[in-house]
Structure 1
Amino acid sequence: MKILDGQTVGIDLGTTYSAIAQINAEGEPVSLENADGKTITPSVVLLGDDGKVIVGPSFERMSLEKPQNIVEAIKRQMGSKDFHIVYQGKKLTPEFLSALILKKLKQDAEKQVGPIANAVVTVPYYFNDVRRKATQDAGKIAGLNVIDIINEPTAATLAYAWQKGQLGRPDAFEG
């Protein structure tokens, strides 16, 4: 995948919470904050009766809403052609709903680092090609050039090696 001009980030599109990070000028990974000053955003979409769509609403706000207006754990439906939510007469797919979460992360992070073009997105190790492609499509809908999709355990392993200063060493994980 070609890397576009703009910032590159890593995104954990989680079932419950999502997060976005970037390598800073010192070469260290840094979690970027959302509009609330937190480094995690609830992976929740609130489809308001008034037509407003809110991504990552507070739990206090969600408690005031009708349960049927709250979309949670959409990641579990990624790649499913049979799943959709009807909202104001439109069918919303898991890819579209996930794109709303990705777009929110992107917009909040851009206030700190400037325009973001590229992303690496993590997925569960069990995601097959269809679910990986759906995740990539969600990124595209959100305005991201998804340069790679990597397994969450792989991301954790890379983070461990990074912290130990052993990234790239073949013996980094030997006993």
Structure 2
Amino acid sequence: MSSLTSYCDKIEEKTVMIFCNDCHSIAEVMGNENLIIHNLLGGLVLESNAHDINYLRHCIDEEGASQIVIVGHLNCQVLKHLLDDVSGITLWEEARSYVEALSQEMVSLNLGLYDRGWHLMHRHVALQVKKLSGIPYISEKVEADKLIVTGIVIDDREPNLLEETNLEIFETLNFKLN
């Protein structure tokens, strides 16, 4: 494992890093000239959010980004809020359904609480990478070898803990992506 700072220091190409709004580690990498920081609530990629998709398109076409890294973080209060929310707000319905299914899948793995948190976040990151990679504009860039979409998980309470998400393992669990 490495730290977020050391991971970002090794990045040589222009990279968009998608952080959750709740992640406290963004400040560690703000000065890196190769990074474009983008915040998404819960790190949830929504193709229906034209603003975010247009921003990513701008980063790729205008800023020259050749990589997108989705950054998951432990103890995410946004995902926890979605699990606990009983307000019935339709705006959150898709995200709430996704997080509930993700949480149920992790409980079924019979892991300890700490390991379950890491697995849940890696699974979430892998699913968001898959979802982002499936958006036509992004998939065209990936297929043309002009863009890499990947993910990492950090423990923003312990700045020295960072793991790259093994997409092949965490995409192939039984969970169905909304």
TM-score, structure 2 as length reference: 0.33
> Which structure is richer in relative contact order (CA contacts within 8 A, separation 6 or more)?
2
Q: Normalized per residue, which structure has more helix? A: 2
TM-score (normalizing by structure 1): 0.33
> Which structure has more strand as a fraction of its residues?
1
